[in-house]
């Protein structure tokens, strides 16, 4: 069983049931013993009455006389007591009619015992000495059985009630005991790299749970310090590298512009310039990400209809697609407004588009679909490239994660990480999935929006633009 709460509740119910059952067994034992002892006393008092009624008994007392006297004494208690009288030689002198000819085998005088007699059930019998004779007096245990059966029925009823009540109490107790743990779990779940300053509330009580919360908080303190150091290092290192790199680039450009270089030398300087441009981009991207991590980037979000923004972006996308001999399509459905900063969202779209273009086969089709519906502005970019295996689709958003493909441009693996940061700064989310066509990837981002057409009403929408360049 996975839940500690359920285990605690079950243990509580089991412990209560076992305690209750033990009490029942002990009670049953003592009540039964008490009731049987009462039967022995009853038999004894009957014997005393019999003895007093019969008078002195000696060896010389004829058996007939004894039998008649016992018979005369028995008429009152015909149903309640069963009596047998045995002579000194073990021969039976008297047997009460209630026994209907059946026999109670006597034990030595002074002993009490239980005996089962056909037709009469279980009897409690006691043996007494009357001069040289032995008298057995027995009483039915039927009444004791009735009492014990009632006791058992009451027990089973109470047991059921107790299991129900203890289940409710056990559940409540386990919830109460685990509440501080749930609080720790919820808080720990919220603490992420971009939210490292939150701490688990520590209760005033000095118990194991508050010790655990304190320990975890100390661990988060250390993590926060380490994360801050790494962020600061990345930001400072990127910043420090920018100036010398710019100088190196300017010097290399100067060499090319002056035109004194041999062709081989010029080729080598051009390669240096290309690599420098690549390095500058990495540094710019890292600087951006460390500023985003440190929440140093604040967006100027303004609610607006995304349609004009998309139209303007599409102009550039067509030109880029044409340049790479690819086809670009745009559709837009729905009406509404989303709080965006076009400058940054354009950067997201450009990153996604450049990924889609570099993954597309020659002449491939890249489709940007935009939908404003149900309080969300959803934008997807689909391509006909090789796609990304399902297990890698989340990893590609991590920094420096690339899936190299033969013949593909050397990227930095930071584009999607930047896209995610920017979309999250817009309060949205971004994810990758398989393109509906079977091959290719579909990158989707969603940003909260106020939409005027909901659900089925979207069918009234008209595509904004659907065209391609070949
Ligand atoms: N549309 C796509 N189809 C197939 N693979 C993709 C697609 N988009 C991204 N990827 C994979 O995800 C990886 C990470 O993409 P990301 O944009 O972060 O880095 P990059 O494009 O390699 O470099 P850059 O920082 O220059 O963008 C890519 O290397 C590529 O393997
Ligand atoms: Mg990229």
Q: 390 and 361 in one domain? A: yes
The tens digit of pLDDT for each residue in 276-308 reads 998 998 888 888 888 887 777 888 999 999 999
pLDDT bracket for residue 407 (50, 70, 90): low
Residue 255 lies in a domain: yes
How far away, in angstroms, is 418 Cα from ligand 2 center? Answer: 9
Q: 284 and 362 in one domain? A: no
Q: 221 and 119 in one domain? A: no
Residues with Cβ within 8 Å of 95's Cβ and at least 6 positions away in sequence, in order, are: 83, 84, 85, 101, 103
Q: 388 and 326 in one domain? A: yes
Residue 454 has pLDDT above 80, yes or no: no
The tens digit of pLDDT for each residue in 355-376 reads 999 999 999 999 999 999 999 9
The tens digit of pLDDT for each residue in 111-162 reads 889 999 888 889 999 999 988 889 999 999 998 999 999 999 999 999 999 9
Q: Which of 413, 430, 432, 442 to mutate to test the pocket of ligand 1 (most atoms within 8 A of CB)?
A: 413
- Contacts of 429-433 with C-beta under 8 Å, sequence gap 24+, read 430/348, 430/397, 431/393, 431/394, 432/388, 432/393, 432/394, 432/396, 432/397, 433/393
Residue 398 has pLDDT above 50, yes or no: yes
pLDDT bracket for residue 459 (50, 70, 90): very low
Please report the pLDDT score of residue 455 as a whole number. Answer: 45
Whole-number Å distance between alpha carbons of 113 and 90: 18
Whole-number Å distance between alpha carbons of 353 and 378: 16
pLDDT, greater one: 344 or 105: 344
Last residue of a domain, one of 97, 129, 147: 147
How far away, in angstroms, is 368 Cα from ligand 2 center? Answer: 16
Please report the pLDDT score of residue 465 as a whole number. Answer: 46
Pairing of strands 365-373, 327-333: parallel
Residue 174 lies in a domain: no
The CATH number of whichever domain residue 259 belongs to comes to 1.10.287.130
Q: 325 and 264 in one domain? A: no
Residue 284 lies in a domain: yes
Helix, strand counts (H, E) of the chain? 8, 12
The tens digit of pLDDT for each residue in 319-360 reads 999 999 999 999 999 999 999 999 999 999 999 999 999 999
Mean pLDDT of the chain: 88
Please report the pLDDT score of residue 458 as a whole number. Answer: 42
How far away, in angstroms, is 411 Cα from ligand 2 center? Answer: 6
How far away, in angstroms, is 232 Cα from ligand 2 center? Answer: 25
Average pLDDT over residues 9-22: 93
- Least-confidence region, from 4-18, 66-80, 181-195, 197-211: 66-80
Residue 115 lies in a domain: yes
The CATH number of whichever domain residue 31 belongs to comes to 3.30.450
Q: Which of 281, 396, 440 to mutate to test the pocket of ligand 1 (most atoms within 8 A of CB)?
A: 396
> What percent of the chain is predicted at pLDDT more than 90?
56
Residue 216 lies in a domain: yes
Please report the pLDDT score of residue 422 as a whole number. Answer: 95
Which ligand is nearest to the Cα of residue 359, counting in written order?
1
Residue 467 has pLDDT above 60, yes or no: no
Please report the pLDDT score of residue 102 as a whole number. Answer: 84
- Contact (CB, 8 A) for 423 and 445: yes
Please report the pLDDT score of residue 409 as a whole number. Answer: 65
Pocket of ligand 1 (CB under 6 A): 351, 355-356, 359, 383, 385, 387-388, 396, 401-403, 411-417, 441
Range of 69-78, 137-146, 192-201, 399-408 with top mean pLDDT: 137-146
Q: 382 and 253 in one domain? A: no
Q: Which residue(s) pair with 127 in the sheet?
A: 136
Domain count along the chain = 3
Q: 352 and 280 in one domain? A: no
pLDDT bracket for residue 76 (50, 70, 90): low
Please report the pLDDT score of residue 456 as a whole number. Answer: 41
Residue 447 lies in a domain: yes
Please report the pLDDT score of residue 470 as a whole number. Answer: 33
Handedness of CA 313, 318, 321, 327 (dihedral sign): positive
pLDDT bracket for residue 188 (50, 70, 90): confident
Q: 230 and 350 in one domain? A: no
Q: 306 and 249 in one domain? A: no
Please report the atom of ligand 1 found closest to the CA of residue 282: 25
Please report the pLDDT score of residue 207 as a whole number. Answer: 86
Distances (CA, A) of 446 to 185, 275, 425, 431, 432: 28, 35, 12, 9, 12
Residue 32 lies in a domain: yes
Last residue of a domain, one of 147, 181, 197: 147
The domain in which residue 410 lies consists of 302-460
Whole-number Å distance between alpha carbons of 115 and 121: 8
Residue 166 lies in a domain: no
Q: 101 and 248 in one domain? A: no
Q: At what angle do helices 263-293 and 415-425 cross, to 10 degrees?
A: 30
How far away, in angstroms, is 13 Cα from ligand 1 center? Answer: 57
Last residue of a domain, one of 272, 293, 314: 293
Q: 235 and 124 in one domain? A: no
Q: 315 and 255 in one domain? A: no
């Amino acid at each position: 069983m996975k839940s500690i709460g359920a285990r605690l509740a079950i243990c509580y119910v089991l412990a209560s049931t076992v305690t209750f059952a033990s009490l029942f067994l002990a009670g049953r034992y003592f009540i039964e013993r008490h009731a049987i002892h009462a039967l022995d006393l009853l038999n004894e008092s009957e014997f005393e009455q019999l003895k007093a009624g019969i008078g002195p008994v000696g060896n010389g007392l004829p058996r007939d006389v004894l039998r008649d006297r016992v018979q005369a004494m028995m008429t009152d208690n015909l149903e309640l007591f069963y009596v047998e009288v045995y002579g000194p030689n073990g021969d039976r002198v008297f047997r009460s009619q209630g026994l209907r000819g059946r026999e109670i085998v006597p034990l030595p005088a002074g002993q009490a015992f239980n005996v089962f007699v056909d037709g009469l059930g279980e009897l409690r019998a006691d043996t007494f000495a009357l001069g040289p004779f032995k008298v057995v007096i027995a009483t039915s245990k039927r009444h004791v059985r009735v009492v014990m059966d009632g006791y058992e029925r009451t027990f089973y009823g109470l047991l059921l009630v107790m299991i129900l009540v203890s289940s409710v109490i056990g559940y409540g107790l386990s919830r109460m005991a685990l509440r501080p743990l749930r609080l720790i779990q919820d808080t720990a779940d919220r603490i992420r790299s971009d939210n490292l300053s939150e701490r688990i509330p520590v209760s005033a009580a000095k118990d194991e749970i508050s010790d655990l919360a304190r320990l975890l908080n100390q661990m988060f303190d250390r993590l926060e310090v380490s994360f801050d150091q790494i962020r600061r290092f990345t930001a400072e290192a990127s910043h420090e590298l920018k100036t010398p790199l710019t100088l190196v680039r300017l010097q290399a450009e100067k060499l090319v512009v002056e035109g004194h270089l041999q062709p081989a030398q010029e080729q080598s300087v051009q390669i240096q310039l290309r690599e420098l441009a690549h390095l500058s981009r990495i540094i710019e991207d890292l600087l951006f990400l460390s500023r985003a991590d440190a929440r140093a980037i604040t967006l100027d979000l303004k609610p607006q209809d995304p349609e004009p923004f998309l139209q303007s972006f599409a102009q550039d996308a067509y030109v880029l697609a044409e340049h790479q001999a690819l086809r670009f399509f745009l559709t837009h459905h729905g009406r509404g407004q989303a709080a965006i900063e076009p400058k940054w969202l354009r950067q997201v779209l450009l990153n996604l588009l450049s990924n889609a273009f570099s993954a597309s086969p020659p002449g491939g089709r890249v489709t940007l679909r935009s939908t404003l519906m149900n309080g969300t502005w959803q934008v997807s970019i689909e391509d006909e490239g090789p796609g990304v295996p399902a297990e890698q689709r989340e990893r590609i958003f991590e920094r420096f994660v690339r899936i190299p493909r033969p013949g593909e441009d050397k990227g930095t693996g930071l584009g999607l990480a930047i896209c995610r940061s920017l979309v999250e700064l817009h309060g949205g989310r971004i994810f990758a999935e398989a393109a509906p066509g079977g091959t290719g990837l579909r990158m989707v981002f969603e940003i909260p929006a106020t939409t005027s057409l909901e659900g089925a009403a979207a069918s009234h929408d008209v595509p904004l633009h659907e065209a391609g360049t070949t």
